[in-house]
Amino acid sequence: MTKCKRCGLKTVLSEQDIQKMVDDITSMNGIRLVDSVTYEKRFAVCENCSNFLYGSTCNVCGCVMQVRARLKDGRCPKKRWEI
Ligand code: SF4
């Protein structure tokens, strides 16, 4: 299994891996999230971005976008979404 050199996570995540990360972040106290419409708009941009790899990961910031795009303070490092 190939692992990310930065964070040590698997490079290619399964749907279950991603869902667990989403469940973990959305159940944390004090985490500010965007509404589902904003998340879908952000994620749609990522899905059509040349920096989006393996169906989950931004190769600029290294983040799993199903998580980062849900965060109120989440940002696209290329400023492709600023909502
Ligand atoms: S966060 Fe920005 S640069 Fe990264 S995959 Fe999404 S749109 Fe592309």
Domains of the chain, residue spans: 15-68
The pLDDT-based confidence of 82 (bands split at 50, 70, 90) is confident
pLDDT digits (tens, 9 = 90+) for 14-73: 999 999 999 999 999 999 999 999 999 999 999 999 999 999 999 999 999 999 999 999
- Find tokens 């964070």 and name the residue: 7
pLDDT value of residue 71? 96
Closest ligand 1 atom to residue 57 Cα is 5
Closest ligand 1 atom to residue 59 Cα is 4
pLDDT value of residue 8? 74
- What is the distance in A from the centroid of ligand 1 to the CA of 38? 15
CA distance 6 to 79: 22
Rounded to an integer, the average pLDDT of 1-23 is 84
Residue type, 4: C
pLDDT value of residue 1? 66
Judge contact between 81 and 45, C-beta under 8 A.
Answer: yes
| Residue with CA at minimum distance from ligand 1 atom 1 | 76
Residue type, 78: K
